[in-house]
Amino acid sequence: MSRTASNRAAPRDPFAVLGRPLPPDFYRRSSLQVAPDLLGLLLCHDTVDGLVAGRIVEVEAYKGPADLAAHSARGRRTARNEVMYAAGGCAYVYFIYGMHFCMNVVTAVPGAPEAVLLRALEPVAGEDLMRERRGARAATAALARGPGNLTRALAIDRRQNGIDLATSELRILRPADDSFPRPAPRDIVRSPRIGVDYAGAWAKRRWRFSLRGSASVSVPPRARPAR
DNA sequence: GAATAGATTGTCT
DNA sequence: GACAATCTATTCT
């Protein structure tokens, strides 16, 4: 067959084998609705070093202005969190503790400052590159366990702040492979968010969502039973 | 196994 | 000047 014209014309899409982007409406909902729906999807980053992808297994919803744990609490709007006020579907990346980046998915409609923090992935592609970036000879399940480790394993930093997650080098995809099925509701665990004790009653809300049984979830969702 | 401290800097009061 | 949507190693029990 010599029908190479169309092949030549089509730009190579390194993401195509992994899955397809989500439609804009997926992100234009409350962070409380989007958060559990992100579980099982793929976060992928294509850089000069190679393509890396992981299955999202742990997230947290932040819903300003009411939510006092959110950067947008009480309607706070600064240069740092400005992108939270944009339309859902882009990345919000910020620097914390002098050494870590955290990545969020902006949700809801323009003007509603909501986001979902991505806390952990199970490696799916580019495991060697992830391990190289993490340095240590870490276990596979731990390569992107925890928000700081996730951004480091995927080489995510300020440069990705505000970019579109459907069209950029950093994307979220619905997996094409049947070996990554949509998680059943009973496999989604709700628990309080991590590291927001300063937010009082808001810290007790179970706005963390994780996949039951995943070895990559950062903090065991259930407090250890006392015995 | 649980608790603690140190690293290190952008952001906001 | 205080502190943060963290991680790791170390030091207790």
Between CA A10 and C1' C5 the distance (Å) reads 41
Judge if the beta carbon of A71 is closer than 7 A to nucleic acid strand C.
yes
Report the nucleotide nearest the CA of residue A134, measured to C1': C7
Burial of A94 (0-12, 13-18, 19+ CB in 10 A): middle
Q: With H, G, I as helix, E, B as strand and everything else as coil, classify residue A140.
A: helix
Between CA A191 and C1' B1 the distance (Å) reads 22
pLDDT of residue A196: 94
Q: List the structure tokens of A226.
A: 């006392």
User: Per CA to C1' distance, which residue is closest to B1?
Assistant: A224
Helix, strand, coil in percent for chain A, rounding step 5: 25, 30, 45
The better pLDDT of the pair A181, A129 is held by A129
**Residues A170 and A44: beta-carbon distance below 8 Å:** yes
Q: With H, G, I as helix, E, B as strand and everything else as coil, classify residue A92.
A: strand
pLDDT of residue A6: 59
| Range with the poorest average pLDDT among A81-85, A163-167, A223-227 | A223-227
Q: List the structure tokens of A217.
A: 């979830």
pLDDT at A112 over 50: yes
Percentage of chain A with pLDDT > 70? Answer: 94
Quick: pLDDT tens for A174-223: 999 888 889 999 999 999 999 999 898 999 999 999 999 999 999 878 64
Quick: pLDDT tens for A135-186: 867 899 999 999 999 999 999 999 999 999 999 999 999 999 888 889 999 9
Judge if the beta carbon of A69 is closer than 7 A to nucleic acid strand C.
yes
Question: Which chain C positions have some atom within 7 A of a protein CB?
Answer: 3-9
For residue A150, give Cα distances in angstroms to A29, A109, A179, A216.
24, 26, 22, 10
pLDDT of residue A161: 98
pLDDT at A4 over 70: no
Confidence of residue A1 (pLDDT cuts 50, 70, 90): low
Q: Which of residues 7-66 of A touch strand C (CB under 7 A)?
A: 60, 62
Distance between CA atoms of A53 and A56, rounded to whole angstroms? 10
Q: Which of residues 94-123 of A touch strand C (CB under 7 A)?
A: 96-100, 102, 104, 115, 117
Dihedral sign (CA A34, A38, A42, A48): positive
Judge if the beta carbon of A151 is closer than 7 A to nucleic acid strand C.
no
User: Per CA to C1' distance, which residue is closest to B11?
Assistant: A80
Report the nucleotide nearest the CA of residue A149, measured to C1': C7
